[in-house]
A and B are shown apart, each in its own frame.
Chain A
């Protein structure tokens, strides 16, 4: 059993458990699965200024902040107690494609050559942390949801705008990986 838990979980087990988050939140208290909303509540709770978009009773939505705090804690628990610490197995095609860009597949969650503090004030850091993060925060709110709110909750309730949004998420991702990365990694 311990071996079963500590190795990486299959896509069907993982997917089924993530899918069950939808009824769990609905039945525990009529809450709609959606994680990017937490970013809005953080703005409403912490940032000053009279922006109408953030003038609402964030305390009513505070469940969402408890939920994301749980994600941080759960991830820490999983890494500390439920992991066999084997390197992430990456497809050989991807390893090769990344090698062509000069990125070594190092067995970590994300390549240390990019995701480390010494890159923070470099062009790499600007692109991967500041611009990337900004696009995630701006884009999800503009789109009205993210992978959880649109792709999982929206598609589960059969809403075509969520399908459209999901297609656009994918299109953006394909564009950045195939069109932007090849020249981006020449200059940074």
Chain B
């Protein structure tokens, strides 16, 4: 039986530091071959992002003006389905296709959650895109958003440079 405090298992793989989207696979991966399946998941995600219209600047305006339920419905349903999936993986100890135990991490609180969160919220309201939709907007033909993406990379770089000086 799995104990509750095993839920957030110590990382099997050493990450640099808090890495938002961790890779916990132990089995070695080739640079291209092993990763093509994530290209496939990305393609499906890109299709969903366009078809659900979550990449529309207008939809984000509706959300922040409380004029439409659409975005709240999309995100809310995604959280419920994600949470049920995570619960099932834990409850039935479902393994990865490599046969490894699925690893979850605690996301410890730091003040960046608040300050950075507010900054991202401002950017989200202006650009009408969080990082996923930035890529999807470019793919759907909004080529000028490449400039927004380059600026977002610059913002991430600036954070990396200033990280030690910022309150956390």
Contacts and interface: CB of A to CB of B under 8 A. Distances in A.
A159 B107 CA distance: 7
A22 B81 CA distance: 9
B155 A19 contact: no
Interface residues of B, number: 133
A105 B42 contact: no
Contacts, number: 553
A104 to B, nearest CB: 11
Nearest to B71: A11
A116 interface: yes
B20 A149 contact: yes
B161 interface: yes
Given A27-B96, A51-B160, A165-B117, A155 B83 contact: yes
Given A141-B160, A177-B64, A133 B150 contact: yes
B78 A18 contact: yes
Interface in B35-53: 35-53
Most chain A CB neighbours (cut-off 10 Å) among B21, B44, B62, B105:
B21
A171 to B, nearest CB: 6
Interface in A5-33: 5, 8-9, 11-33
A164 interface: yes
Nearest to A96: B67
A37 to B, nearest CB: 4
A139 to B, nearest CB: 3
A111 interface: yes
A111 to B, nearest CB: 7
A123 interface: no
B135 A71 contact: yes
B42 to A, nearest CB: 2
Given A8-B53, A28-B97, A136-B124, A71 B73 contact: no
Given A27-B97, A75-B47, A134-B155, 15 more contacts: A11-B52, A14-B74, A19-B85, A37-B19, A63-B38, A71-B49, A73-B46, A110-B57, A133-B149, A135-B122, A136-B148, A144-B107, A146-B130, A149-B20, A165-B114
